[in-house]
Amino acid sequence: MKFSICNEMFEDWKIDDVFEFAAGLGYDAVEIAPFTLCDSVVDVSQSERDRIRRAAEKSQIAIAGLHWLLVSPKGLHLSHPDAEIRSKTRDYFLELIKFCADLGGTIMVIGSPKERSVTAPLTYEQAWDYTRETFVLGAQCAKERDVILCMEPLYRESTDFINTPEEAVKMIRDVNNPNFKLILDVYSSASVGIDIPAAIRAHRDYLAHVHTNDDNQSWPGTGGVDYPPIIESLKEINYTGYLSTEVFIFEPDPETIARESIKFLKSLI
């Protein structure tokens, strides 16, 4: 297993400084939220993409990939009733895949709860079909660039579209591409009472990424989640991907969060 940290909690830090700090703590990678770099990745030049990639290499750390994909630019939605909005979202989704590959990233987490929720007057089934169309195209683009798209089940309070690992796996099977897989987020899973070790074992053939946090939205080990059985189940399935810490509360500070998170996780490996 490898260790990664999501960069949005560093807020006003330059990405180069995040690379350097995370590498110094022993992280293997940084996972980037595109909105922390720009409003639209289309506006990031090839030279700047190359510079970011070189900065990570200089710090001897990888770029795991991207998450929080569709929060900017504003107005994106995977299954909107308006065909123009769906088309715009599909085009941007493909641009994100190219951006991820240009940075050397290999993982893209499909979270973005608001941008995937069912919009009236569509039915859930109609939203499913529209979303799947984009994912099929995206998975093919990702396959050509050695990027894995990871479908993230999210708790119902954040979205009404794909809340359980089983629903995520149904989408994965519908897309039917080896570059479209599953991510499990500990906070999202714990908040709806999912047996995380059981889910890991049940969906071992699809699991490609794990977001580590706790049921208090902070770093792993600070809440009520029983982590040892989670890590043991990952060992049992020979998981070799990232444990990528993503917190939703940025207190007390990013340095403490990053330091204590990897310290806790390494103690369990």
Q: What is the mean pLDDT of the chain?
A: 98
pLDDT reported for residue 109: 99
**78-109 pLDDT per residue, tens:** 999 999 999 999 999 999 999 999 999 999 99
pLDDT reported for residue 114: 98
**CA 62, CA 55: separation in Å to the nearest integer?**
10
pLDDT reported for residue 179: 99
**156-165 pLDDT per residue, tens:** 999 999 999 9
pLDDT-derived band at 145 (thresholds 50, 70, 90) equals very high
Tell me how far apart the terminal alpha carbons of the chain are, to the nearest angstrom. 8
Sequence ranges of the domains in the chain? 2-266
Q: What average pLDDT score do residues 193-206 get?
A: 98
pLDDT reported for residue 174: 99
pTM of the model: 0.97
**CA 13, CA 240: separation in Å to the nearest integer?**
29
- How many residues in total does the chain contain? 269
Phi, psi of 64 (to 5 degrees): -65, -40
C-alpha torsion sign, points 110, 111, 113, 114: negative
Q: What average pLDDT score do residues 231-236 get?
A: 99
Q: Domain 2-266 classified CATH 3.40.1280.10?
A: no
